[in-house]
Amino acid sequence: MKSPYEPSNVRSNLLVVQNQLKSACERTKRSATDVTLVAVSKFHDANCVAQALVAGHKVFGENRVQEAQDKWPALKATYSDVTLHLIGPLQTNKVKQAVALFDVIETVDREKLARALAKEFSATGRSLPVYIQVNTGEEAQKAGIFPGQADAFIKLCRDELNLNVQGLMCIPPFDEEPALHFALLSKVANRNGLSALSMGMSGDFETAIELGATSVRVGTAIFGSRP
Ligand SMILES: *Cc1c(COP(=O)(O)O)cnc(C)c1O
């Protein structure tokens, strides 16, 4: 039986995605160095991820703490200068583990988590850059602060908890035009003086770049469909 993904294609897939990223930047007169490609390696095993590392890629995203814990300590020990983003929900009982393993937390989505992170950062002296996840589609089943509450929450995180808030992150509703959500995220970031926008996945990262993404999270287009 054929594997659902072909690890040997990772290097060439990466090149394709990097070129698409560059073209999208050129179309909007942005520099390609302004956009970080976060390679989303969830569900793909260490051998598959290693293909991207061997190809020289350094920035990765995982959505579950436990899976990342199983996979990344060994990879990080072998390949230097890796930056690992947490892009999935974080339970407060996993904060300690997450802060030790990840380099960026993209999914700060509620006060309890923001407070737990602030506490862990000050206890360990390891203070990570964070993004605030905005639920632009106001979907009940999805994590994130609603746009109407975002300004107050950003203020709490920045001013009261002293978190290093780099920017905002969103995952648009599956069945809606993503551009509207990207534009909304950009608007909320602008009015709060935040410059970083994590938005866009395999199907829409070029649109996201055209609307100001500084970071795109691409899984399937690099690693193939998830096993
Ligand atoms: C899985 C995931 C991605 C990558 O999605 P693809 O469509 O495979 O590129 C991006 N962002 C988040 C939050 C994810 O969980």
**pLDDT truncated to tens, each residue of the chain (227 aa)?**
444 445 569 999 999 999 999 999 999 999 999 999 999 999 999 999 999 999 999 999 999 999 999 999 999 999 999 999 999 999 999 999 999 999 999 999 999 999 999 999 999 999 999 999 999 999 999 999 999 999 999 999 999 999 999 999 999 999 999 999 999 999 999 999 999 999 999 999 999 999 999 999 999 999 999 88
CB of residue 171 inside a 6 A radius of ligand 1 = yes
User: What per-residue confidence (pLDDT) applies to 70?
Assistant: 97
Q: Do 108 and 133 touch, CB atoms closer than 8 A?
A: yes
Task: Check: pTM over 0.85? Answer yes or no.
Answer: yes
User: What per-residue confidence (pLDDT) applies to 8?
Assistant: 66
Closest atom of ligand 1 to CA, residue 217: 10
CB of residue 42 inside a 6 A radius of ligand 1 = yes
> How far away, in angstroms, is 174 Cα from ligand 1 center?
12
CB of residue 220 inside a 6 A radius of ligand 1 = yes
Q: How many residues does the chain have?
A: 227
CB of residue 213 inside a 6 A radius of ligand 1 = no
CB of residue 40 inside a 6 A radius of ligand 1 = yes
> How far away, in angstroms, is 61 Cα from ligand 1 center?
9
In 3D space, the residue among 98, 106, 100 whose CA is nearest the CA of residue 143 turns out to be: 106
Q: Do 218 and 205 touch, CB atoms closer than 8 A?
A: yes
